[in-house]
Amino acid sequence: MIHNLKRAWEDVILPIWQRPKRVQIAALCYRETPHGKEVLLITSRDTGRWIVPKGWPIDGLDGAGTALQEAWEEAGVSKADIEAEPIGFYDYDKRLSEGMTTPVIAQVYLTRVRHIKDDYPEVALRKRRWMTPTAAAELVSEPDLKEILLNL
């Protein structure tokens, strides 16, 4: 009996409880101004909290390519220079449509915006705002993302 309980714990319950983190790709969009760098935050579709554009990996695109695609769809970034490697990572719990959450690690790609459009796929679903990295750090919820913003 104890052997069966131990096996059920190790084979069924523990793997569900300790799910591996899923990966998302994020674009930390910025621009240079006479007063220094500004970053672009957008609101999430479900809760309206301030976030950076991000999404699941896209087949056929690398991390930087996925980040650029998410920046376009969610924030209207149409031309940008992007770093090939992530500048950092942050953890958060992603809400799923079924009301459950899944642990996620987001890879953050620094994205220098060259052009932004007013008409883009998710324009009706989100707000967007340019702000200083310090102001952005005060608005985001994830501690590691705050740190990335403050180190920008």
Tokens of 131: 């702000």
Place of tokens 């930390």: 28
CA–CA dist 131, 118 (Å, integer):
17
The pTM score is 0.85
Q: Which domain holds residue 143?
A: 21-150
Q: Do the domain assignments include residue 33?
A: yes
Sign of CA pseudo-dihedral 34, 39, 43, 45: positive
Residue 11 pLDDT greater than 70, yes or no: no
Q: Do the domain assignments include residue 11?
A: no
Place of tokens 């769809």: 73
Region for residue 139 given its phi and psi (left: phi exceeds 0; alpha: psi -120 to 50; beta: otherwise)? alpha
Q: Average pLDDT, stretch 63-71?
A: 98
CATH at 74? 3.90.79.10
Q: Average pLDDT, stretch 48-57?
A: 96
Q: Do the domain assignments include residue 2?
A: no
Residue 44 has phi, psi (to 5 degrees) of -75, 155
Domain count, the chain: 1
Q: Do the domain assignments include residue 16?
A: no
Q: Do the domain assignments include residue 111?
A: yes
Q: Do the domain assignments include residue 116?
A: yes
Q: Average pLDDT, stretch 134-143?
A: 97
CA–CA dist 29, 14 (Å, integer):
38
Indicate the pLDDT class of residue 20, thresholds 50, 70 and 90. Answer: confident
